Protein backbone atom coordinates (compact mmCIF):
# COMPACT_ATOMS: atom_id res chain seq x y z
CA UNK A 1 0.00 0.00 0.00
CA UNK A 2 1.03 3.59 -0.49
CA UNK A 3 -0.52 6.57 1.27
CA UNK A 4 -0.08 8.75 -1.79
CA UNK A 5 -2.16 6.30 -3.83
CA UNK A 6 -4.90 6.30 -1.18
CA UNK A 7 -4.96 10.08 -1.18
CA UNK A 8 -5.18 10.17 -4.98
CA UNK A 9 -7.97 7.58 -4.95
CA UNK A 10 -9.96 9.72 -2.54
CA UNK A 11 -9.33 12.80 -4.69
CA UNK A 12 -10.91 10.89 -7.57
CA UNK A 13 -13.91 10.00 -5.42
CA UNK A 14 -14.34 13.63 -4.40
CA UNK A 15 -14.27 14.75 -8.02
CA UNK A 16 -16.78 12.04 -8.94
CA UNK A 17 -19.21 13.06 -6.19
CA UNK A 18 -19.12 16.72 -7.26
CA UNK A 19 -19.94 15.52 -10.79
CA UNK A 20 -22.75 13.36 -9.42
CA UNK A 21 -24.31 16.48 -7.88
CA UNK A 22 -24.11 18.14 -11.29
CA UNK A 23 -25.80 15.11 -12.87
CA UNK A 24 -28.62 15.28 -10.31
CA UNK A 25 -29.15 19.04 -10.72
CA UNK A 26 -31.79 18.84 -13.43
CA UNK A 27 -33.81 16.07 -11.82
CA UNK A 28 -34.93 18.16 -8.87
CA UNK A 29 -34.58 15.25 -6.43
CA UNK A 30 -33.61 17.11 -3.27
CA UNK A 31 -33.31 13.91 -1.28
CA UNK A 32 -30.76 12.52 -3.75
CA UNK A 33 -28.85 15.82 -3.82
CA UNK A 34 -28.79 15.95 -0.03
CA UNK A 35 -27.65 12.35 0.23
CA UNK A 36 -24.80 12.79 -2.24
CA UNK A 37 -23.77 16.03 -0.57
CA UNK A 38 -23.83 14.32 2.83
CA UNK A 39 -21.56 11.58 1.55
CA UNK A 40 -19.22 14.10 -0.08
CA UNK A 41 -19.17 16.36 2.98
CA UNK A 42 -18.24 13.43 5.20
CA UNK A 43 -15.50 12.38 2.78
CA UNK A 44 -14.05 15.91 2.61
CA UNK A 45 -13.91 16.22 6.39
CA UNK A 46 -12.53 12.72 6.99
CA UNK A 47 -9.99 13.02 4.18
CA UNK A 48 -8.60 16.32 5.49
CA UNK A 49 -8.35 14.99 9.02
CA UNK A 50 -6.60 11.80 7.87
CA UNK A 51 -4.07 13.81 5.86
CA UNK A 52 -3.44 16.08 8.84
CA UNK A 53 -2.91 13.12 11.17
CA UNK A 54 -0.77 10.88 8.99
CA UNK A 55 0.54 12.53 5.82
CA UNK A 56 1.53 16.11 6.63
CA UNK A 57 3.50 15.44 9.83
CA UNK A 58 5.73 13.06 7.86
CA UNK A 59 5.97 15.42 4.89
CA UNK A 60 7.26 18.10 7.26
CA UNK A 61 10.01 15.73 8.41
CA UNK A 62 11.07 14.42 4.99
CA UNK A 63 10.02 16.89 2.32
CA UNK A 64 12.08 19.56 0.63
CA UNK A 65 9.46 21.33 -1.48
CA UNK A 66 8.39 20.33 -4.96
CA UNK A 67 7.23 22.04 -8.13
CA UNK A 68 6.35 25.64 -7.29
CA UNK A 69 6.81 25.28 -3.52
CA UNK A 70 10.02 26.18 -1.69
CA UNK A 71 9.65 23.84 1.28
CA UNK A 72 7.59 21.14 2.93
CA UNK A 73 6.57 23.70 5.57
CA UNK A 74 5.18 25.96 2.82
CA UNK A 75 3.34 23.02 1.26
CA UNK A 76 1.90 22.06 4.62
CA UNK A 77 0.89 25.58 5.67
CA UNK A 78 -0.91 26.03 2.39
CA UNK A 79 -2.62 22.64 2.61
CA UNK A 80 -3.89 23.21 6.15
CA UNK A 81 -5.14 26.66 5.12
CA UNK A 82 -6.88 25.03 2.15
CA UNK A 83 -8.45 22.39 4.40
CA UNK A 84 -9.84 25.20 6.57
CA UNK A 85 -11.26 26.92 3.49
CA UNK A 86 -12.83 23.67 2.30
CA UNK A 87 -14.42 23.10 5.73
CA UNK A 88 -15.73 26.66 5.79
CA UNK A 89 -17.11 26.50 2.26
CA UNK A 90 -18.75 23.13 3.02
CA UNK A 91 -20.39 24.64 6.10
CA UNK A 92 -21.89 27.34 3.86
CA UNK A 93 -23.47 24.63 1.71
CA UNK A 94 -25.14 23.24 4.81
CA UNK A 95 -26.67 26.66 5.55
CA UNK A 96 -28.63 26.66 2.29
CA UNK A 97 -31.79 24.85 1.25
CA UNK A 98 -30.78 21.74 -0.69
CA UNK A 99 -31.34 22.22 -4.40
CA UNK A 100 -31.77 25.99 -4.26
CA UNK A 101 -29.73 28.35 -6.42
CA UNK A 102 -27.86 29.48 -3.29
CA UNK A 103 -27.11 25.83 -2.43
CA UNK A 104 -25.69 25.12 -5.90
CA UNK A 105 -23.63 28.31 -5.72
CA UNK A 106 -22.22 27.21 -2.35
CA UNK A 107 -21.51 23.72 -3.74
CA UNK A 108 -19.64 25.32 -6.65
CA UNK A 109 -17.54 27.38 -4.21
CA UNK A 110 -16.72 24.22 -2.20
CA UNK A 111 -15.84 22.42 -5.43
CA UNK A 112 -13.51 25.24 -6.46
CA UNK A 113 -11.78 25.37 -3.07
CA UNK A 114 -11.37 21.60 -3.07
CA UNK A 115 -10.30 21.36 -6.71
CA UNK A 116 -7.67 24.06 -6.31
CA UNK A 117 -6.35 22.32 -3.21
CA UNK A 118 -6.18 18.86 -4.80
CA UNK A 119 -4.34 20.15 -7.87
CA UNK A 120 -1.78 21.94 -5.73
CA UNK A 121 -1.38 19.01 -3.34
CA UNK A 122 -0.86 16.57 -6.21
CA UNK A 123 1.73 18.86 -7.81
CA UNK A 124 3.57 19.71 -4.59
CA UNK A 125 3.13 17.65 -1.42
CA UNK A 126 2.41 14.27 -2.97
CA UNK A 127 5.25 14.65 -5.45
CA UNK A 128 7.62 15.79 -2.70
CA UNK A 129 6.64 12.84 -0.50
CA UNK A 130 7.03 10.27 -3.28
CA UNK A 131 10.57 11.53 -3.88
CA UNK A 132 11.67 11.38 -0.24
CA UNK A 133 9.67 8.76 1.68
CA UNK A 134 10.75 5.15 1.55
CA UNK A 135 8.25 2.42 0.59
CA UNK A 136 8.03 1.05 4.15
CA UNK A 137 6.92 4.42 5.52
CA UNK A 138 4.48 4.93 2.67
CA UNK A 139 2.99 1.50 3.43
CA UNK A 140 2.79 2.08 7.19
CA UNK A 141 1.08 5.44 6.70
CA UNK A 142 -1.31 3.93 4.16
CA UNK A 143 -2.38 1.34 6.71
CA UNK A 144 -2.99 4.04 9.32
CA UNK A 145 -4.83 6.23 6.80
CA UNK A 146 -7.02 3.31 5.67
CA UNK A 147 -7.82 2.26 9.24
CA UNK A 148 -8.74 5.82 10.20
CA UNK A 149 -10.93 6.14 7.12
CA UNK A 150 -12.71 2.88 7.86
CA UNK A 151 -13.25 3.87 11.50
CA UNK A 152 -14.69 7.24 10.48
CA UNK A 153 -16.99 6.44 7.60
CA UNK A 154 -19.60 8.71 9.13
CA UNK A 155 -17.13 11.63 9.04
CA UNK A 156 -15.22 13.56 11.63
CA UNK A 157 -16.06 16.83 13.32
CA UNK A 158 -14.73 19.62 11.09
CA UNK A 159 -12.38 21.84 13.09
CA UNK A 160 -10.28 24.60 11.53
CA UNK A 161 -6.62 24.46 12.43
CA UNK A 162 -4.21 27.29 13.23
CA UNK A 163 -1.82 26.98 10.28
CA UNK A 164 1.35 28.21 12.00
CA UNK A 165 0.67 26.29 15.22
CA UNK A 166 0.12 23.13 13.18
CA UNK A 167 3.43 23.46 11.33
CA UNK A 168 5.27 24.29 14.55
CA UNK A 169 3.77 21.30 16.36
CA UNK A 170 4.69 18.83 13.65
CA UNK A 171 8.06 20.21 12.56
Q: How far apart are CA 130 and CA 59, in angstroms?
A: 10
- Report how far Cα 167 is from the mean position of its chain's Cα atoms: 17
Give mean pLDDT, residues 61-76.
Answer: 92
> Could you report how far apart the first and last alpha carbons of the chain are, in Å?
25
With H, G, I as helix, E, B as strand and everything else as coil, classify residue 30. Answer: helix
Cβ-Cβ contacts under 8 Å for 86 (sequence gap 6 or more): 44, 48, 110, 113, 114, 117
pLDDT of residue 161: 92
Give mean pLDDT, residues 127-138.
Answer: 97
48 has pLDDT over 80: yes
Confidence class of residue 153 from pLDDT cuts 50, 70 and 90?
Answer: confident
Give mean pLDDT, residues 23-36.
Answer: 94
- Higher-confidence residue of 152 and 128: namely 128
67 has pLDDT over 90: no
* Residues 30/99, Cβ–Cβ less than 8 Å: yes
Q: How many of the other CB atoms lie within 10 Å of CB of 74?
A: 16
Whole-number percent of the chain with pLDDT over 90: 90
Q: How far apart are CA 107 and CA 99, in angstroms?
A: 10
Q: How far apart are CA 36 and CA 44, in angstroms?
A: 12
pLDDT of residue 4: 98
With H, G, I as helix, E, B as strand and everything else as coil, classify residue 33. Answer: helix
If you average pLDDT over every residue of the chain, what do you get? 95
pLDDT of residue 155: 60
158 has pLDDT over 70: yes
* Residues 94/81, Cβ–Cβ less than 8 Å: no
Q: What is the pTM of this model?
A: 0.89
154 has pLDDT over 80: no
54 has pLDDT over 80: yes
Amino acid sequence: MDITDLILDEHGEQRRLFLEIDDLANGGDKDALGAVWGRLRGLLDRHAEAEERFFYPELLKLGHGAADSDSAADETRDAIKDHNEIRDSAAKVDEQEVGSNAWFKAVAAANKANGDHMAEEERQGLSDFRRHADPALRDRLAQQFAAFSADHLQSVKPVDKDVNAYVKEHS
